[in-house]
Amino acid sequence: AQEARDPKQIVPLVVERHARTLADAPGRQVQKDRKSALRRRHSPAIGGLVASRRMKRAAILLLCIMAAPAVRAGSAPDVTLTWVEKYLTYSQDHEDRLTLTDAHFLAEVIFDSDRDFDAVRASLRKQGSGEVLATYGGSDKRAFTNGYFYTRKTRSFDSLEAIDARHPADSAFVWTITGPAGEFTLDPIRIGGPEGRTQVPKPSTIRLHQGGAAVRNYDAIDPAAPLTISWDPFVGGGPLEGSEWSDLVFVLVSDCHGEVAHTGGAPGTDEDFVDYRDTSATVPAGRLRPGEPYVVFISQVNYVDFNESHGIGQLAANSFATELPVRTAGAAAPDACAT
C-alpha cells in the first residue's frame, strides 16, 4: 500500500467505504465501482491511498485516527483500534438537491504495521448472537493512511431504516481478536451509544462562495480566487462524554484522478484544522487548476461510543457525507481530464 505522509494528502477513513462486504448482512453489497469521492470520507481505497472517486464514502477514519488519544503503553500490540459505523452518503446536484446514494454498515480493524495483521484473526458478532457478521485475516486487503494500516468490511443498504432494521440502535457488537498476543474477546461497543439511538447528523448541502458572493454556476469556479466551502452547523457535535474523543468534520476537494487538492486538515498535523465547531473552510487561490472537474466533499462524524478493552481502543460512529461535483473555469491543460 502506498504511504501519504504529506498532511495535504490526508484522506479520512470515513471516505472510502467500499472494501469487502460484511458477508452475512442482507442488502446490496458494496463491491460497486461507482465513481465518486464519497467512498473516500471518512479515506483511501483498499490497496491504494489517493482519494479515488470510486465510491461514493467519506469518513470516515484515519483522519479520525489523528485525533485519537494514545493507547496505553504495554497494551496488546496486535490491533490498535476497532471501528463500527452507520454511514450515509449523499450526492448534491447543481440545484442543491440531495440524493441518498448509499447507506453503509461498516466495521474496520486498525493496526500499526502492514505485517502486524499477518498472524492475526478477528471476527465481529452482535452481542447475544452467535452469528458472525464478518471475519478478518492476514490475507485481507489493507490500506495505509497517516501511519496506520487498516482493513475494512462493509455492507450497503437501501436506506438508514434498512440498516436499523438489521442492526437496531440498541445493538452492541463484540470483537474477538486472536494473534501473537493471545485471544481477546473485547467488551461490547454500542452502535447507538448509551442512549440506544441512531444519531446520524442531519445531512447538509455544500455552499460555495467566491469574492464575497455565493457561487451560482458550479461549472465556472474561478481557480485564481479563494473558494470558501460552507455547510450547516454540526447539531449535537462535541466531545464524546467519558472519552478524549471529539466529533469530526471532514472537508476534501479531489480531482478527476482522485488526487486530493485540498483538505480541512487533521488534528496533530495542521495548526489550523476544521473541527465540529466550524462551518466553513477555504481553498486557497491557485490550488485548483483551470478547466478541470473536481468533487467537493464534506462529512460529519458523530462518535457515539468508545471504550478500551484489553488495551485496544473501540469506537462506534454515526455519520453522513455529501459530495458536490464542480468544474473550474478557464482553459484546461492538454492532458487534463474532461470529466
Length of the chain counted residue by residue: 339
Inter-residue contact 65 to 146 (CB < 8 Å) = yes
pLDDT for 301-339, tens place per residue?
999 999 999 999 999 999 999 999 999 999 988 888 877
Closest CA to 87 of 148, 156, 20: 156
Which residue in the block uniquely carries the three cell numbers 472537474? 293
Q: What is the structure's pLDDT at 186?
A: 96
Which element (helix H / strand E) includes 83? strand 81-92
Integer Cα distance of 195 and 182 in angstroms: 33
Integer Cα distance of 89 and 39 in angstroms: 8
| Global confidence as pTM | 0.80
Q: What is the mean pLDDT of each run of 10 residues along the chain (339 residues)?
A: 28 32 35 30 30 33 49 58 96 98 94 80 94 90 76 94 97 95 94 97 98 96 98 95 89 92 76 87 96 96 95 95 97 85
pLDDT for 239-292, tens place per residue?
998 888 899 999 999 999 888 899 887 666 666 689 999 999 999 999 999 999
Beta strands at 98-111 and 148-157: parallel, antiparallel or unpaired = antiparallel
* CB neighbours of residue 235 within 10 Å: 10
